[in-house]
Amino acid sequence: MKLNKNATKFVFLILHILRAKLCPLLVPVLCSFIVFQGCTQESSTDENEGTTVVFKHGKVAGDPEALNALIRRFEESNPDIKIKDETLPSSTDEQHQFYAINLEGRSSDFDVYAIDVIWVQEFARAGWLRDLSHILPLKNRDEFFHGPMKAAIYQDKVYAVPWYIDAGVLYYRRDLLEKYGFSPPKTWYDLVRIASEVTRKEPNLYGFIWQGKQYEGLVCDALEYIHSNGGDILIDSQVVIDSPENMEALRFMRDLIFKYRVTPVLVTTMIEEPTRHIFGKGKALFMRNWPYAWNIFEADDSPVKGKVGVSILPKFSGHQSSPTLGGWHLGINAYSKHPEAAEKFIEFLTSYEVQKTLSLTIGYKPTLKALYKDPDMHRAQPFTTSLYDAFEHANPRPITPYYMMISQVIQPEFSAVISRTKEPEEALKSAREQIEHILTVED
Amino acid sequence: MTFVKGKSHIFFLAPAILIMAGVIIYPLLNVIWLSLHRRLLIFDISKYVGLDNFGFLLRDDRFWNAFYNTVYFTVISVSLELILGLSIATLLNRTFTGKGLMRSIILIPWAIPTVVSAKMWEWMYNSDFGILNYLLGVNINWLGSAFWAMNSAIFMEVWKTTPFVALLLMAGLQTIDGDLYKSARVDGASGWYIFRRITLPLLTPVILIVLIFRTLDAFRVFDAIYVLTGGGPANTTETLSIYAYKVLFQTLQFGYGSTISIAIFICVGIITIIYVRLLRRGME
Amino acid sequence: MRRLCFYILLLIVSFYCLGPYLWQFITSLKPDAELSRLPPILPDNPTFDHYVSIFRAHPFFRIISNSLIVACSTTFISLVIGSLAAFALAKLDVRRKRLILVFVLSVSMFPAIATVSPLYIIIRALGLRDTVFALIITYTSFSLPLTIWILTSFFRSIPHEIYLASRVDGCTVFQSFYRIILPLSAPGIFATAILVFIFSWNEFLFALTFTSTVASRTIPVGIALFPGLHEVPWGDIAAASVVVTIPLILLAFAFQRRIVEGLTAGSIKG
């Protein structure tokens, strides 16, 4: 047909134009690539015997071989189950967005998935998690840390199993504190006093750095002041965010920057890594961060090797220190087609032996309390076992399905306070109104 | 002398229309449908509310804050991109050694993946170890102060997208017949006169395209600002897309999030119509 | 003197465009401990560790090849389909031309975050999850608006007499299209090719949602997978960004001559 002939000629002309300057082999190479792709496309259809359980999780810190070895061990002892391991970017936003898109579309593409501690309530309420109460009877629940376990229970049912725990800690320069005869601060005002004195005498040193960018981490940081002053955001669904204790706590945060001047104003742009870099170069006396940074500071080429100490976060006098709880849980997709196999896999991953292996190989912080008294752990991972107190005291963020909405409300308010756009009273009052609006919307 | 009347253009147009319609129809209908509902999984709500969401939108302060931020961002960044892109295109529109190299170099900002370039600029803007403060010898809190944050984002966006403008304008400049310039110079016209009376009018169609697409993109900007500031500090850099993203994917309000998306679509549509009207005169 | 001014301007423009990229390159040569030290600008102990690491610790070759396939296919298909449509809109007698152009434009007026959810459902329903085809189809539809608009403009700028003359000479509509009109609009075609290629190369949101394993993972998602839970291997990311930008520069360099050559045929005059 004339049309066909002309069309093919036309296609070849375009090809010719495009190839004018490119290697003539490009097109055949591309074609072979496509064919190659088609042949090696991994099929997700099950084989005749056995089921495939898809495990979706954010990237595992450290050597991926550690997790692969464990997966192989599981497959050996469960010959009819195959595990397909799929990683997502570690950005929590991207993971949350991915799960939202998939689960809103009722996808069964994954069976076991790792979720941030603050999502469990929300996902449970949305019907995206399978009830796991039968694999975690009451007596077993006490084996886990109290905080993560509480965050995983919604309406008296367990919806996820704690896998990895995280909590804020205070890093300090041991060498500098010793030099000036100080010990790690117990209260926030102690910290201010020590930081002011030392930075007066040491040039080119920031007193105290923390994460102040407008993101979830800011809420984590701010709660450490709020909770350690006896305040809270929600108590039994009552909004108490504008209490005097909270105002004092927020005002203190702002004063750290502008009144006491121990914190540089650039914290309003900082997340975890930039603060880690600054402290790791030796430019700060105190830093609030998660425990992950310790290994980096103790690496051979680190300028602060051997000079760093870690202690539990300070508090306001008369109250208790309250690090914010982080960490990840494992849950089963409510739409999964292989829930029993998935349950076996979760039991495996959260068992004593496996958590111990993960901790010894890649430094995961386990969620089973008994591991922190294990002699092997003491020997090989003394830093991890020393964090027991911090994890015991770690306080979760408000445990409610509406937490993500609440977080979206308070992030800009807290940010407004520490950037001096709003007074604490105004910000907290506005936050209270918005949170109340959220909680009463249920018609 | 056979002039085909009418039918062959269907074959030319069909593939494009079919592909685009096929891919966009379902999402479009889905978004419209969702925007008329309150769909909040965590409240167990999924019901039809008609235009209620739109009514709420008009009273939503945060929406208007985002709208204002977006307009500011769009106007300033597109103007700067146009001016810079036009200057670069004119500068490079002559013969000189290294011409090929130069023309490839200017594409680099556009070529770097956004996931990287936003983080790269975040690194450069860092007040402590960022190269910008170091080279300028100052200590400005680029991303943390309400004043500087939005302008830093604009600067980064302009840097990144000027190549797009320059590339299209260069291609457009190429289609202008060199003889026109020659005869104008023979008549004694100055460089500026030539530019204003010959180059600009002939370049208008391409400028129109550049304006439309750059405005579309700037109005919907997300990645650049989200990585840089997350919408902060205190929501001073929150644009409409960031607000929609947070509503959709952070708070899982699929209904209202779709409403905001439609609002963005309508705004962009209005702007496009204005452009096309304005420059229709320039095109004929 | 004017020449000197010109070269100074060139230098400023080069620095403006190249500066941050050079800084990335320098960063990629710094060992981890020196990453955030400033001064000095240049590394004390330059190392290629990061370049080695990105290929060893990640299946980067496969990722780059995926991106190559997706980008080339998208560019090719968009150009073919887009130029056909643009030709019709520019030269043929089409009713409701403006309406079609506006419809075409409206496809790209939607924020991507609104369309990604429903599109994902379609992709899954078609069984295209985790394939390059899903990306190719999506990217093509979102590149078509730009392609069609640019090429329509370039086709329009070719005087109508040339088209009519070629028809008088006995060409069919098709022949006129590919023998006469296309070559004359080479600048537009190559400019569009570069833009579409770069768009496909760097697109992130759809790539993240539609792919799940290395089978179809593209570069932006690959780079997003570099960071660990809190830790960001900035040296590796810098090295990766240097590596993945080079093909684009080479492509641009190869194409930019064709953007310029354009009208050497001379059929325009007289």
Q: Note whether residue B83 is domain-resident.
A: yes
Q: Which of A203-212, C116-125, C249-258 has the highest mean pLDDT?
A: A203-212
Same domain, C186 and C227: yes
Q: Note whether residue C127 is domain-resident.
A: yes
> Looking at beta carbons, which residues of chain A come within 8 Å of B143?
213, 268-269
pLDDT at residue C15 greater than cutoff 80: yes
Å between A44 CA and nearest CA of chain C: 10
More confident residue, A155 or C170: A155
Same domain, C101 and C19: no
List C-alpha distances in Å: A25 to A214, C230, C240, C257.
50, 43, 26, 20
Residues C111 and B216: their CA atoms lie apart, in Å, by 9
List C-alpha distances in Å: A23 to A352, C171, C245.
57, 32, 19
Q: Note whether residue B278 is domain-resident.
A: yes
| Interchain CB contact of C267 with B (< 8 Å) | no
Same domain, C73 and C26: no
Same domain, C6 and C120: no
| Interchain CB contact of B126 with A (< 8 Å) | yes
Q: Where are the alpha helices (DSSP H) in chain B?
A: 8-35, 52-59, 61-91, 99-105, 108-111, 114-125, 131-136, 146-174, 178-186, 191-194, 200-219, 223-229, 240-245, 254-283
The per-residue pLDDT for A11 is 55
Element (H, E) at A209: strand A206-209
Same domain, C258 and C164: yes
Same domain, C122 and C27: no
Q: Is it true that the peptide bond before C39 is cis, omega within 30 degrees of 0?
A: yes
Evaluate whether the domain defined by A51-166+325-393 bears CATH number 3.40.190.10.
yes
Q: What is the pTM of this model?
A: 0.86
Which residue in A97, A101, A122 is closest to B42 by CB distance? A122
Specify the number of domains making up chain C.
Answer: 2
CB B268 to CB C167 under 8 A?
no
Task: Using alpha carbons, select from A412, B67, B222 the residue that is nearest to residue C114.
Answer: B222
Specify the number of domains making up chain B.
Answer: 1
Residues A219 and A346: their CA atoms lie apart, in Å, by 30
Closest chain C residue to B163, measured at CA: C17
Question: Chains with ≥3 Cβ pairs under 8 A against C?
Answer: A, B
Task: Using alpha carbons, select from A255, A256, A294 the residue that is nearest to residue A272.
Answer: A294
Q: Note whether residue B29 is domain-resident.
A: no
Distance of CA B35 to the CA centre of its chain: 24
> Looking at beta carbons, which residues of chain C come within 8 Å of B88?
13
Which residue in A34, A62, A98 is closest to C209 by CB distance? A98
Q: What is the pLDDT of residues C207-222, one digit of tens each?
A: 988 888 888 899 999 8
> Mean pLDDT for chain A?
87
The per-residue pLDDT for A19 is 52
| Residues of each domain in chain A carrying CATH 3.40.190.10 | 51-166+325-393, 169-322+402-440
CATH number at residue B151: 1.10.3720.10
Residues C224 and B116: their CA atoms lie apart, in Å, by 9
> Looking at beta carbons, which residues of chain C come within 8 Å of A3?
174
Residues A131 and A395: their CA atoms lie apart, in Å, by 24
Residues A228 and A315: their CA atoms lie apart, in Å, by 5
Element (H, E) at A435: helix A424-440
Interface size A-B, in CB pairs within 8 Å, comes to 112
Q: Is the dihedral angle over the CA atoms B187, B191, B192, B196 positive or is it negative?
A: positive
Q: Note whether residue B31 is domain-resident.
A: no
Same domain, C128 and C202: yes
Q: What is the pLDDT of residues A314-369, one digit of tens each?
A: 999 999 999 999 999 999 999 999 999 999 999 999 999 999 999 988 888 999 99
Rounded to two decimals, the ipTM of the complex is 0.83
Residues B77 and B66: their CA atoms lie apart, in Å, by 16
For residue C42, count CB atoms less than 10 angstroms from its CB and return exposed for 0-12, middle for 13-18, buried for 19 or more: exposed
| Interchain CB contact of C11 with B (< 8 Å) | no
For C:91-150, CB contacts with B below 8 A are 92-94, 100, 102-115, 117-119, 121-122, 137-138, 140-141, 144-146, 148-150
Same domain, C203 and C154: yes
Q: Is the dihedral angle over the CA atoms C52, A60, B143, A167 positive or is it negative?
A: negative
CB C148 to CB B16 under 8 A?
yes
Taking a C-beta distance cutoff of 8 angstroms, is the pair A207, A198 a contact?
Answer: yes
| Mean pLDDT (whole number) for B212-235 | 88
Q: What are phi and psi of A306, to 5 degrees?
A: 80, 0
Residues B38 and B41: their CA atoms lie apart, in Å, by 9
Q: Note whether residue C115 is domain-resident.
A: yes
Same domain, C144 and C250: yes
Q: What is the pLDDT of residues B196-217, one digit of tens each?
A: 888 888 888 888 888 888 998 9
The confidence band for A212, taking pLDDT boundaries of 50, 70 and 90, is very high
Domain containing residue B200: 38-283
Residue whose tokens read 């006491």: A260
Distance of CA B208 to the CA centre of its chain: 13
Q: Note whether residue B7 is domain-resident.
A: no
DSSP C129-143: TTSHHHHHHHHHHHH
Which residue in A6, A94, A296 is closest to C172 by CB distance? A6
Structure-block tokens of residue B59: 């009273």
Residue whose tokens read 């590596």: C243
> Looking at beta carbons, which residues of chain B come within 8 Å of A204?
none
Q: What is the pLDDT of residues C50-104, one digit of tens each?
A: 898 888 877 888 999 999 999 999 999 999 999 999 988 888 777 788 888 888 8
Which residue in B105, B117, B179 is closest to C17 by CB distance? B105
| Interchain CB contact of B141 with A (< 8 Å) | yes
Neighbours of C246 (CB within 10 A): 10
Q: What are phi and psi of A49, to 5 degrees?
A: -100, 145
Domain containing residue C181: 59-264
Taking a C-beta distance cutoff of 8 angstroms, is the pair C105, C86 a contact?
Answer: no
Structure-block tokens of residue B7: 């039918």
Evaluate whether the domain defined by A169-322+402-440 bears CATH number 3.40.190.10.
yes
Å between A59 CA and nearest CA of chain C: 6
> Looking at beta carbons, which residues of chain C come within 8 Å of A88?
225
Q: Note whether residue C223 is domain-resident.
A: yes
Q: Note whether residue C269 is domain-resident.
A: no
Q: Note whether residue B239 is domain-resident.
A: yes
Residues B28-31: contacts with CB under 8 Å, at least 24 apart: B28/C110, B28/C115, B30/B258, B30/C117, B30/C118, B31/B258, B31/B261, B31/B262, B31/C110, B31/C114, B31/C115, B31/C118
Same domain, C28 and C102: no
